[in-house]
Structure 1
Amino acid sequence: MKLLTDHDIYKIIVDFLRKYGHDVVTAKELDLHTASDEMMLEKAKNTDRLFITRDKDFGMLVFLKKELCSGVICLKITPY
């Protein structure tokens, strides 16, 4: 699965996903650490990746503003 992770996703989660064969790129790797939420969704869509975040604001963008995207996964976990 192709994924783009937001800057708020822990490295341990990125490493776990990669360990199990997922194609993961991070906002930091793409120099998007200061990008707006809209830019993050657009980048995910343009690179055909699901977007992973812990930020609930993306729900508003996707559902209320009808922003087109390839998909958003909102994590509610904190790794130990």
Structure 2
Amino acid sequence: MHSLKFILDADMPRSSAEVIRSTGYDVEDVRDIGMGAAKDSEIIEYALENERIIVTRDTDFGEILRYPEHPGGVIFRLPYTFRAEELNRVLKEFLDTVEDNELINAIIIVELGRYRRRPL
């Protein structure tokens, strides 16, 4: 079991939460905690207060950089034509590859076949 915790944004498939859980991480889905329609800033604040790394497809979450003490974010830059199964395959491959310490205090951009880390 990993000690890191994630929060899944509403633009990610619900099934992605199970993929994250299956790799040993704790995850909350914004739709399950009454934040499905929340503004990005509200999700960032919630993630900050609860020490959760945001998992999203929304590139606007780059504003997280204004919060240097934030645990971080993982932004998936994949074609929006990807079905949930395709996105979840990339998510699983990413989680199987990345080290926990790479996720902390960073923005990670995940693309097909690679990811880039940007420290906060």
TM-score tier by shorter-chain length is 0.7 to 0.9
Alignment of structure 1 residues 18-29 onto 2, 5 Å: 18-29=21-32
Q: Secondary structure at the match of 1:28?
A: helix
CA distance in 1, matches of 2:67, 2:39: 13
Aligned residues: 77
Which one has the largest radius of gyration? 2
Q: Name the TM-score, length of structure 1 as normaliser.
A: 0.84
Q: Could you say which structure has the higher strand fraction?
A: 2
CA RMSD after TM alignment: 1.4
Unmatched 5+ residue regions in structure 2?
87-120
Identity across aligned pairs (percent)?
Answer: 25
Aligned partner of 2:67 in structure 1 is: 67
Q: Could you say which structure has the higher helix fraction?
A: 2
Q: Secondary structure at the match of 1:3?
A: strand
